């Protein structure tokens, strides 16, 4: 039997296992090519990619702009759970209804995806706010890392099952055609709903402490911005981080639909992205060792250099083996780039104000992944192909590398 505290910790961690199914199957691997090949089959390929890019950009922007306001609620006990439940239900519901999307239903598909992505992101905001409640200061890093690890594992396992449903629908008693993908959306909703139960049952919330100050989050953001002037290196790093992090998030969100546009078969797209999941884990650990031997900044240059190469090669992408190779390269550097960014920023901020500055770091993270998908939409609209956007992403990484080069690390 788990003790009360242990139940809370594992209940919190298991929500990462639950919601990562949306991140892998819906956001990254299955829904983008399904939108391209089925829901938007009546549209030119470039237009489908452009619409997807605009949808991702718009949903991410809405979440980022609302984060300070909702953060004020998350910081005041008594409101976390009810808001979490509302947005969790929105995400699960929209994901389940995706199973009804058929050929030509591109408008319905986009609206459901935007609602699902918004619900997923807003629920995560309140979920994250429970971390300091369930874990002590000494436990926070371990609990957070355990949640991430369970998320990678859970998301990867369900994606593997969904890949089998798409490639071999007969194994599951499904007819050929789109049913494998459509039922996979139902499995995500079911997985997300069922494995959230431990969080809802075991994680308790402190009693509320008065009325909500809706302006608190915005005032805190403005105050931190003003005080960043005294920490110029940290401010310069955040600019670099925003540039290359936008590129990283765009690669994650747009890779599958871009691959579908240039003619890569759905089975290869999903399998290659599943391959990325499993490559990322060991190489995240290797990058930690690499940073100790050559330094954090040189290790970051290697990771961002690989991303730049991936985007440059992406312009010429035509064959499935090329997509597999690029997916493997991304897996090699994805976890390392994200982990090293946090450790690099930690070296630049005063120890007594780490919570405040990492709150700002989190805000900058929320605003990444807006520009890149938007540029995909613009490139497709202007050139009737998204290939130019791949080169723009390479430039975004080069700008991030240049900005990082101007940051002095003590």
The Cα–Cα gap between 154 and 159 comes to 8
- Residue listed under structure tokens 């139940």: 7
The answer to whether the CB of 19 falls within 8 A of the CB of 194 is: no
For the chain, list the domains and their CATH numbers: 1-200 (1.20.1250.20), 217-410 (1.20.1250.20)
The answer to whether the CB of 284 falls within 8 A of the CB of 336 is: yes
Helices assigned H by DSSP within 131-231 = 131-134, 140-167, 179-194, 197-202, 216-227
- Residue listed under structure tokens 């994606």: 159
CA angle 135, 140, 143 (to 5 degrees): 80
The Cα–Cα gap between 202 and 11 comes to 6
User: Long-range pairs for 300-304 at CB < 8 Å and ≥24 separation?
Assistant: 300/337, 300/340, 300/341, 300/344, 300/404, 301/401, 301/404, 302/333, 303/333, 303/336, 303/337, 303/340, 304/244, 304/333, 304/337, 304/397, 304/400, 304/401, 304/404
pLDDT tens digits, the chain, 410 residues: what are they?
Answer: 455 568 899 999 999 999 999 999 999 999 999 999 999 999 999 999 999 999 999 999 998 888 777 766 666 656 788 889 999 999 999 999 999 999 999 999 999 999 999 999 999 988 888 887 888 877 776 888 788 788 888 999 999 999 999 999 999 999 988 999 999 999 999 999 999 999 999 998 877 656 666 666 667 667 767 777 777 888 899 999 999 999 999 999 999 999 999 999 999 999 999 998 888 878 877 877 888 889 888 999 999 999 999 999 999 999 999 999 999 999 899 878 877 887 788 777 776 666 667 767 777 888 888 999 999 999 999 999 999 999 999 999 999 999 999 988 76
52-86 pLDDT per residue, tens: 999 999 999 998 888 777 766 666 656 788 889 99
How many Cα neighbours within 13 Å face the side chain of 260? 30
DSSP 266-319: HHHHHHHHHHHHHHHHHHHHHHHHHHHHH-HHHHHHHHHHHHHHHHHHHTT--S
pTM value is 0.89
The Cα–Cα gap between 262 and 317 comes to 7
């Amino acid at each position: 039997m788990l003790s009360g505290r242990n139940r809370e910790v594992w209940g919190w961690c298991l929500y990462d296992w639950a919601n990562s199914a949306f991140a892998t199957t819906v956001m990254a691997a299955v829904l983008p090519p399904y939108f391209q090949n089925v829901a938007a089959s009546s549209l030119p390929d470039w237009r489908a990619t452009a619409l997807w890019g605009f949808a991702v950009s718009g949903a991410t922007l809405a979440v980022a702009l609302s984060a300070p306001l909702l953060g004020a609620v998350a910081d005041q006990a008594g409101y976390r759970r009810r808001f979490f439940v509302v947005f969790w239900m929105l995400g699960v519901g929209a994901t389940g209804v995706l199973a009804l999307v058929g050929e030509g239903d591109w408008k319905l598909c986009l609206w459901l995806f935007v609602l699902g992505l918004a619900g997923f992101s807003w629920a995560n905001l309140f979920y994250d706010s429970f971390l300091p409640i369930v874990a002590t200061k000494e436990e926070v890093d371990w609990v957070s890392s355990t949640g991430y690890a369970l998320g990678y594992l859970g998301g990867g396992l369900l994606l593997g099952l969904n890949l089998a449903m798409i490639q071999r629908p007969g194994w599951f008693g499904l007819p050929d055609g789109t049913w494998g993908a459509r039922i996979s959306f139902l499995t995500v909703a079911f997985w997300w709903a069922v494995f959230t139960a431990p969080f809802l049952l075991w994680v308790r919330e402190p009693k509320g402490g008065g009325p909500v100050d809706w302006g608190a989050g915005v005032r805190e953001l403005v105050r931190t911005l003003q005080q960043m002037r005294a920490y110029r290196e940290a401010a310069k790093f955040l600019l670099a981080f925003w540039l290359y992090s936008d590129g990283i998030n765009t690669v994650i969100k747009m890779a599958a639909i871009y691959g579908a546009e240039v003619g890569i078969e759905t089975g290869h797209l999903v399998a290659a992205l599943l391959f990325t999941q499993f490559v990322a884990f060991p190489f995240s650990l290797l990058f930690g060792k690499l940073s100790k031997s050559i330094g954090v900044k040189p290790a970051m240059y290697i990771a961002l250099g690989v991303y730049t190469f991936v985007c440059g090669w992406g312009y010429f992408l035509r064959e499935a083996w090329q997509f597999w190779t690029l997916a493997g390269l991304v897996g090699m550097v994805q976890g390392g780039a994200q982990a090293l960014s946090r450790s690099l920023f930690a070296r630049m901020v005063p120890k007594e104000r780490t919570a405040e500055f990492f709150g700002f770091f989190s805000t900058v993270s929320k605003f990444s992944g807006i520009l890149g998908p938007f540029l995909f939409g613009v490139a497709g609209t202007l050139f009737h192909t998204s290939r130019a956007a791949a080169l723009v992403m390479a430039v975004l990484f080069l700008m991030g590398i240049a900005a990082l080069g101007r940051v002095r690390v003590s």
